């Protein structure tokens, strides 16, 4: 987490940012203007193209800002460019910082669970969950080679989360911070609807976790992602997942084949 923001801008350009500064301070963040001290733990926000490149080359976390006075600035190589900084708040700045620092986004909190982006540190927990035959009977297994799975997760974080802002996430038990499964929204090649996916480890099944988590994700998909229809593909014979889909409001649509396997496809209108 960042606890210091440095606005590397002229003071007369920071006046419209009083609301943002107050919001940052209310979350315990120190805000400084025009500070030039080297602090690798700080988050820098600048409208100066040269300063952006210098800070970035030196390994600082820096967000470039574009406004009327520097509309032509390109900020090449920037992961994000703030266009309407006066409309930003702590949550938006925090999410951008997490991307720069390689930290996962917290997506949702339910009564018993936390849903956040997956990290490489979750891989060992996934292998324990997928070691149960009941899990892999109806879904693809992890890579046999742990290094390959780690590389897949790293690539997924960089390309899927950064591009879409969503994907398959990690589910944790709030009380123990234990990884208990995965769930989220993704796109399957050859289909034109986003897809709900979920797996809850055997020790936590039959306790309502899957329904709790998937209900929250479906609400998030509708309200935050603007998705009006979502599909779920259930392998034939997987009665537990089929019953959960119906309980979540999905209706049977058709029978499809993909990846050499037959699935029953369910669709929910949000």
DSSP string, 4-36: EEEEES-GGGTGGGHHHHHHHHHTT-EEEES--
241 and 110 within one domain: yes
141 and 54 within one domain: no
The CATH number for 113's domain is 3.40.630.30
If we measure between CA atoms, which residue out of 233, 270, 237 comes closest to residue 252? 233
Indicate the residue among 101, 126, 148 that finishes a domain.
Answer: 101
Instruction: Tell me how far apart the alpha carbons of residues 184 and 157 are, in angstroms, rounded to a whole number.
Output: 14
**Entry pTM:** 0.89
43 and 28 within one domain: yes
120 and 232 within one domain: yes
132 and 87 within one domain: no
Per-residue pLDDT of the chain (270 residues; tens, 9 = 90+): 789 999 988 766 776 788 999 999 999 999 988 766 667 779 999 999 999 999 999 999 999 999 888 989 999 999 899 998 889 999 999 999 999 999 999 999 999 999 999 999 999 999 999 999 999 999 999 999 999 999 999 999 999 998 999 999 999 999 999 999 999 999 999 999 999 999 999 999 999 999 999 999 999 999 999 999 999 999 999 999 999 999 999 999 999 999 899 999 999 999
How many CA atoms does the CB half-sphere of 213 hold within 13 Å?
A: 30
Instruction: Tell me how far apart the alpha carbons of residues 201 and 133 are, in angstroms, rounded to a whole number.
Output: 11
Residue range(s) defining the domain that contains residue 142: 106-269
83 and 40 within one domain: yes
180 and 141 within one domain: yes
114 and 29 within one domain: no
Question: In the numeric block, which tokens belong to residue 50?
Answer: 């040269």
Query: How many domains are contained in the chain?
Result: 2
The pairs formed by 77-85 with CB atoms below 8 angstroms and a separation of 24 or more are: 77/53, 78/52, 79/162, 82/45, 85/17, 85/20, 85/45
The residue assigned the tokens 């123990």 is 176
70 and 32 within one domain: yes
Instruction: Tell me how far apart the alpha carbons of residues 107 and 5 are, in angstroms, rounded to a whole number.
Output: 23
For residue 35, the model assigns a pLDDT of 67
Burial class of residue 110, CB neighbours in 10 A (0-12, 13-18, 19+): middle
């Amino acid at each position: 987490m960042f606890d210091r923001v440095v606005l590397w801008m002229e003071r007369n350009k920071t006046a419209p940012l009083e609301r943002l500064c107050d919001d940052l301070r209310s979350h315990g963040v120190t805000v400084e203007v025009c500070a030039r001290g080297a602090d690798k733990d700080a988050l820098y926000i600048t409208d100066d193209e040269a300063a952006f490149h210098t800070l970035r080359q030196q390994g600082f976390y820096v967000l470039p800002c574009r406004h009327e006075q520097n509309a032509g600035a390109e900020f090449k190589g920037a992961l994000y460019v703030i266009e309407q900084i006066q409309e930003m708040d702590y949550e938006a700045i925090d999410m951008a910082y997490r991307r720069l620092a390689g930290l996962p986004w917290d997506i949702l909190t339910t009564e018993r669970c936390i849903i956040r982006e997956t990290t490489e540190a979750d891989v060992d927990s996934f292998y324990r969950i997928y070691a149960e035959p009941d899990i892999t009977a109806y879904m693809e297994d992890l890579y046999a080679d742990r290094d390959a799975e780690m590389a897949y997760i790293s690539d997924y974080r960089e390309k899927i989360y950064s591009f879409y802002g969503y994907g398959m996430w990690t589910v944790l038990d709030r009380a123990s911070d234990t990884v208990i499964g995965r769930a989220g929204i993704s796109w399957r090649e050859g289909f034109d609807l986003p897809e709900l996916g979920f797996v809850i480890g055997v020790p936590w099944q039959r306790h309502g976790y899957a329904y709790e988590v998937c209900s929250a994700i479906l609400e998030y998909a509708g309200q935050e992602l603007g998705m009006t229809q979502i599909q779920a593909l259930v392998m034939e014979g997987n009665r537990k997942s089929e019953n959960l889909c119906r309980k979540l409001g999905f209706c049977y649509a058709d029978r499809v084949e993909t990846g050499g396997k037959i699935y029953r496809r369910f669709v929910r209108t949000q």
